[in-house]
Chain A
Amino acid sequence: MGGSEQEPPRDVASSFDTADTANPAESAQSVPGSTEPRILRVWASIELGAASVVLVVIFVSVLWQVISRYIPGLNWPGVGELANYSLIVLTFIMVGYLLGKNGHIVIKIIDYLVKGRAFMAVRVVSALCVAVICGLLAYEAYGLILTFPNRRTAALEIPIWILYTVPLIGFASGTLRAVVNIFLAGKPEPTFDAAEAK
């Protein structure tokens, strides 16, 4: 075992840069970046920014809970509730964003089975189903807003209907994205990279 130097420089990730796209199904049918209209891209950055702020709220709330256990003066009963509802807000506010960016967890078996126009047809049907489901869920959220006009959360006393407006917005956004995706079915779909989310 000689002593030859074996450690190349760090920025060698490009060793494979000349190769084709990773997934053969993706190489023909997807492109990096977003294919959404500009207004939806702006809306997407608002959704992502809001969700990121909510994530900070979750972090601070949970950390506050730890600290307040040892510093009783900081004890605030609403902090757990704030963290829990923040997670719910984060989940529903990201529905539309992820639909627009092709970022939801999807099973892509069919990508290997159908190509060309048949694949486009699958994308149209899929987007149609998503639009219907998101539309129904937005309707459910609207129903919940009407059902609980006066009820409030236990600790923070936030009106429950305000919380249900988040899924309403998220699923309405998702419906809109799905409808747009129907018309974009002929174009290569965006490849999603969470590390490059914007």
Chain B
Amino acid sequence: MELWMLAVAVVILLFIRVPVGLAFIGPSLVWALADGRSVGFSLKTAFDGLNSFPLLAVPLFILVGVMANRLGIADRLYDFCLAALGRVRGNLAYVNVGSAVGFSWMSGSALADVAGLGKMQIPQMVRAGYPYGFAAGLTASSSLISPVMPPSIPAVIYAATATVSTGALFAASVLPALLMALGLCAYIFIWTARRPDLTAVPFNAQRLLKASIAVLGPLLTPVILLGGILSGIFTPTEAAAVAVAYMLVLGVIYRTARWPVLWRSLKETTAITGGIMLILGAAALLGLILTRAHVSRDVAAFLTSVSDNPIVFMILVNILLLILGCLIDATAIILVTVPVLLPIALDFGIDPIYFGVVMIINLMIGLLTPPVGSVLYITSSVTGQPVDVVFRGIAPFLIPLGAVLVIVTAFPDFVLWLPRLLGF
């Protein structure tokens, strides 16, 4: 069986709505059998691909995000941001970004962010006079900070696939994630300058004090997570378990950790994890086939025939990933493209940590765009508005996010400054 036939079969299966994991594994299984592999080779490869300690961080970080939502911790962050930024014009817009940054330290998934905070924030912004498109677009865009800021689930998957340090990737993601927040705030500033009708809330010191006390516990989460990882007390996977334990402690203190809530959190996490992990296992098989077929070598030969300039290579990678991000799930892209693109990037002298951060930002922007943008659909779902209306709201925010992508791509030292400082 030729490799192009495998690729066509995967595309056809994806097109007719076969789940991504099964669309990867089905043709790969036929390829393996046609190649003379024994019965069981494909399943064993997928099985072994999942047998990885770093990947245990995926369900645990998803659980942290789900628990933060269900135990009322996200609400506390929101209250704090509202109390702190109340008197700024366009306050709810800044609160939106601020609470997304706060939540991003606990959650590695944009979906958890937009599903949890979006439900609350978008209607509030609309009632306060913001157009629906702006509110939905901002909420969807700010949710992308979660999968970039550590703990980032795409970073865990990239690190496991590229065999690089998860801690280094986490450290490298901090500044780009903050730059994304800054970019969105700059857009809000320009937008609200033309909207004098948007009023503010008078500053209330007592309210701020109360909200600050309420948010002290959640604010310690990043300290525990990153502090633990960077000081070598625990690995990123272990940090995920510690974060779950910490969420439980907070839930007990806040008296929100009731059995039904915890059980629902487990079931929600399991339902999300099952879909992602099947893709991870299937992509391990597909990746093995691509490696054995020397796809990386052929792609490298093509790219070097175009240019031997690393900047041109990164521009081509950005274009490729933005297109793929619009069409295929981010997890699948990381697993399939990293074994192909990373060796070429290394040949160009590109740092794998920097490459990972650029890849993650590219793919996260794809979450906002049709036809596959899951954040787009969730935003549409939680607000009950059509996808095209939501996307019209999102479109302007692609400008600041695109600008961040350009800056991050153009200045590798900006990305690598923090990991170098921390000794990675």
Question: Measured between C-beta atoms, what is the minimum distance from A170 to chain B in Å?
Answer: 9
Size class of the contact patch on chain B: 35 or more
Enumerate chain B residues within 8 angstroms of A194, measured Cβ to Cβ.
268, 271-272
Q: Which of A84-127 contact B (CB under 8 A)?
A: 84-85, 87-88, 90-91, 93-95, 97-99, 101, 103-112, 122-123, 125-126
A133 within 8 A of B: yes
How far apart are the CA atoms of A22 and B114 in the complex, in Å? 14
Q: Which of B6-44 contact A (CB under 8 A)?
A: 13-22, 25-26, 29, 38-44
| A87-B56, A107-B20, A137-B43 as given contacts; A48 in contact with B277, CB under 8 Å | no
How far apart are the CA atoms of A86 and B133 in the complex, in Å? 43
| A19-B385, A22-B384, A63-B241 as given contacts; A109 in contact with B15, CB under 8 Å | yes
B202 within 8 A of A: yes
> Binary interface profile of B, 88-112, with partner A (CB < 8 Å = 1, else 0)?
0101100000000000000000000
Question: Measured between C-beta atoms, what is the minimum distance from B175 to chain A in Å?
Answer: 28
B200 within 8 A of A: yes
* Most B Cβ at <10 Å: residue of A23, A106, A107: A107
Q: Which of B181-232 contact A (CB under 8 A)?
A: 196, 199-202
B371–A91 touching, CB < 8 Å = no
> What is the total number of residues of chain A having a CB less than 8 Å from a CB of chain B?
85
A22–B380 touching, CB < 8 Å = yes
Question: Measured between C-beta atoms, what is the minimum distance from B299 to chain A in Å?
Answer: 23
A7 within 8 A of B: yes
B291 within 8 A of A: no
Choice from A13, A105, A108, A122 contacting B382 with Cβ under 8 Å? A13
| A104-B19, A104-B275 as given contacts; A52 in contact with B14, CB under 8 Å | no
Enumerate chain A residues within 8 angstroms of B201, measured Cβ to Cβ.
3, 5-7
> Binary interface profile of A, 173-198, with partner B (CB < 8 Å = 1, else 0)?
00000000000000000001011011
A105–B241 touching, CB < 8 Å = no
A133–B26 touching, CB < 8 Å = yes
A141 within 8 A of B: yes
B22–A134 touching, CB < 8 Å = yes
Q: Is the interface of B mostly helix, strand, loop or mixed?
A: helix
> Binary interface profile of A, 1-35, with partner B (CB < 8 Å = 1, else 0)?
11111111010111111111111100000000000
B272–A129 touching, CB < 8 Å = no
B115 within 8 A of A: yes
B22–A133 touching, CB < 8 Å = yes
B22–A8 touching, CB < 8 Å = no
A2–B40 touching, CB < 8 Å = no
A169 within 8 A of B: no
B238–A129 touching, CB < 8 Å = no
B270–A48 touching, CB < 8 Å = yes
B17–A123 touching, CB < 8 Å = yes
How far apart are the CA atoms of A195 and B261 in the complex, in Å? 11
Enumerate chain A residues within 8 angstroms of B270, measured Cβ to Cβ.
48, 51-52, 54-55, 90, 94, 197
B338 within 8 A of A: no
A23–B381 touching, CB < 8 Å = yes
How far apart are the CA atoms of A143 and B40 in the complex, in Å? 6
Choice from B42, B122, B242 contacting A66 with Cβ under 8 Å? B242
Enumerate chain A residues within 8 angstroms of B418, measured Cβ to Cβ.
none
Choice from A7, A99, A197 contacting B271 with Cβ under 8 Å? A197
How far apart are the CA atoms of A55 and B386 in the complex, in Å? 35
Enumerate chain B residues within 8 angstroms of A52, measured Cβ to Cβ.
263, 266-267, 269-270
> Which partner residue on chain A sits nearest B48 by CB separation?
A88
| A6-B92, A7-B124, A16-B383 as given contacts; A105 in contact with B276, CB under 8 Å | yes
B39–A140 touching, CB < 8 Å = yes
Enumerate chain A residues within 8 angstroms of B51, measured Cβ to Cβ.
84-85, 88
A195–B115 touching, CB < 8 Å = yes
B237 within 8 A of A: yes
Question: Measured between C-beta atoms, what is the minimum distance from B290 to chain A in Å?
Answer: 19
B384–A16 touching, CB < 8 Å = yes
How far apart are the CA atoms of A56 and B381 in the complex, in Å? 29
| A66-B241, A140-B39, A140-B42 as given contacts; A8 in contact with B124, CB under 8 Å | yes
| A1-B89, A6-B200, A19-B385 as given contacts; A98 in contact with B53, CB under 8 Å | no
| A1-B200, A55-B273 as given contacts; A130 in contact with B18, CB under 8 Å | yes
Question: Measured between C-beta atoms, what is the minimum distance from A194 to chain B in Å?
Answer: 4
Enumerate chain B residues within 8 angstroms of A109, measured Cβ to Cβ.
15, 327, 371-372
Q: Which 9 residue pairs spanning A and B have beta carbons closest together?
A: A94-B274, A104-B19, A15-B123, A22-B380, A62-B241, A91-B277, A133-B26, A143-B39, A197-B271
B residues near A, CB below 8 A?
Answer: 13-22, 25-26, 29, 38-44, 47, 50-53, 55-56, 59-60, 63, 75, 82, 86-87, 89, 91-92, 115, 119-120, 122-124, 126-128, 196, 199-202, 234, 237-238, 240-242, 244-245, 263-264, 266-281, 327-329, 331, 371-372, 377, 380-388
